[in-house]
Amino acid sequence: MVPLRQWRTTAHLAGHAWRLGRLWNSNTFSTTPCVRSSAGISEAADYCKDLVRKHDYEAFLTSQLYPRVYRPGYYALRAFYIELATVKEAVSQTTLGQGRFVFWRNAVKDIFKVSGFWRVGIYISLTSGQNAPPRHPIAIALHQVTQNSHLAQYHFQRMIDAREEELFSPTHLTVESMTAHAESTSSTFFYLILSMLRQESAIFSHAASHLGIAQSFATFLRALPFHASKGVMVIPAEITAKHGVKQQEVFSKHATSKELEDAVFELATIANDNMMTAREMFKETGGKVPQAVMPLFSAAIPTASILTRLESVNFDVFHPSLQVRDWKLPWRVYTSYYNRQF
């Protein structure tokens, strides 16, 4: 076992079911327009919140930091993110996955085409039966958040395109490719949150971009054992080849090795470098993040926790302790929020 490494920055590393019959009919992915009551919208919001709570503990934890007025929007956007991210594992055939992405691509187009108004708590479609958002809980919740915030349709389409590419290319050959994917998914999600909070700026967007990359890389490393059990190596080929990682041994033995630890360390270092770059965006304020965007940047705390825990076990991604939830995380998240630092 190699000695515990310290973080370093190098030049080349600088860098569901829905309740049937409630909000959508028995025809899955129905796009039939309907009149939606405030009760239906509330159920859609509850569905999204429950989805995040069940499938993304860390996102649900940080969601509590958002002002109440923004939480439904956050849950809608995160539920959409989770929905896209889980398509690949949820389908048995590529064509089925493509079908889901076609649905979401069309749903987003319809959501942004819809014009409507609220009257006595009831949504009336003004589209004469055309281009209404589908009766899917996440689509209904997304439509609601687009009514309340100026969100760019491009960001939704970018996330869909990136996730669809995973159906055909589940692995990355280069760090550059993996970084581009992270920017199109995690970073783009943060851009939507900034828009929802009405806090768009070059500094915030730059910091969010690097945070998204760090979060994506750290998440991939934590999930490496799961992906390895499916015969997929999440570390880019240029890194595994550089360190002589024998991928078939990783898949069959489901155990660490010096070569794999070296590869994990290199990718973790890239993630850590991106975290440091995100922090540097706030150096003029002594590292203090404006309170309005601190809920978003609190997402850095779970990411930092993953990287710290990896370091503590010498970058052995198969170490049993990494599969146990960090019980100190809630305290760290709230401490970070109140100190306005990440």
pLDDT in tens, 45-79: 999 999 999 999 999 999 999 999 999 999 999 99
Q: What's the domain count of the chain?
A: 2
Q: Which residue has the higher pLDDT, 169 or 211?
A: 211
122 and 189 in a single domain? The answer is no
What strand order describes the sheet that includes 116-119?
36-37, 122-125, 116-119
185 and 133 in a single domain? The answer is no
76 and 111 in a single domain? The answer is yes
CA distance 86 to 17: 13
109 and 228 in a single domain? The answer is no
194 and 334 in a single domain? The answer is yes
Q: Which two tokens stand for residue 332?
A: 């760290």
Domain membership of residue 28 (yes or no) is: no
207 and 330 in a single domain? The answer is yes
Domain membership of residue 1 (yes or no) is: no
Domain boundary among 106, 122, 151: 151
300-317 confidence digits (pLDDT tens): 999 999 999 999 999 999
Domain membership of residue 159 (yes or no) is: no
Q: How many CB atoms lie within 10 A of CB 206?
A: 14
147 and 179 in a single domain? The answer is no
Domain boundary among 124, 151, 178: 151
Contacts 24+ apart (CB under 8 A), 188-193: 188/155, 188/158, 188/159, 188/162, 188/212, 189/77, 189/78, 189/81, 189/159, 190/296, 190/299, 191/152, 191/155, 192/77, 192/151, 192/152, 192/155, 192/156, 193/74, 193/77, 193/296
Tell me the torsion sign for CA atoms 138, 199, 203, 297: negative
Domain membership of residue 9 (yes or no) is: no
211 and 261 in a single domain? The answer is yes
pLDDT-derived band of residue 39, with 50, 70 and 90 as boundaries? low
Across the chain, mean pLDDT equals 87
Q: Which residue has the higher pLDDT, 8 or 143?
A: 143
pLDDT at 135: 87
Res 97 pLDDT > 60: yes
99 and 225 in a single domain? The answer is no
Mean pLDDT score, 9-38: 36
**Distance from the first to the final alpha carbon of the chain:** 31
Please identify which residue in the block is written with the tokens 């509850």.
46
46 and 110 in a single domain? The answer is yes
Domain membership of residue 105 (yes or no) is: yes
* C-alpha of 158 from chain center: 13
Domain of 309? 170-341
133 and 70 in a single domain? The answer is yes
Domain membership of residue 3 (yes or no) is: no
73 and 189 in a single domain? The answer is no
pTM here is 0.85
pLDDT-derived band of residue 133, with 50, 70 and 90 as boundaries? confident
pLDDT at 225: 97
Domain membership of residue 165 (yes or no) is: no
What is the CATH classification number for the domain harbouring 305? 1.10.600.10
Res 33 pLDDT > 80: no
CA distance 341 to 338: 8
Domain membership of residue 22 (yes or no) is: no
pLDDT at 320: 95
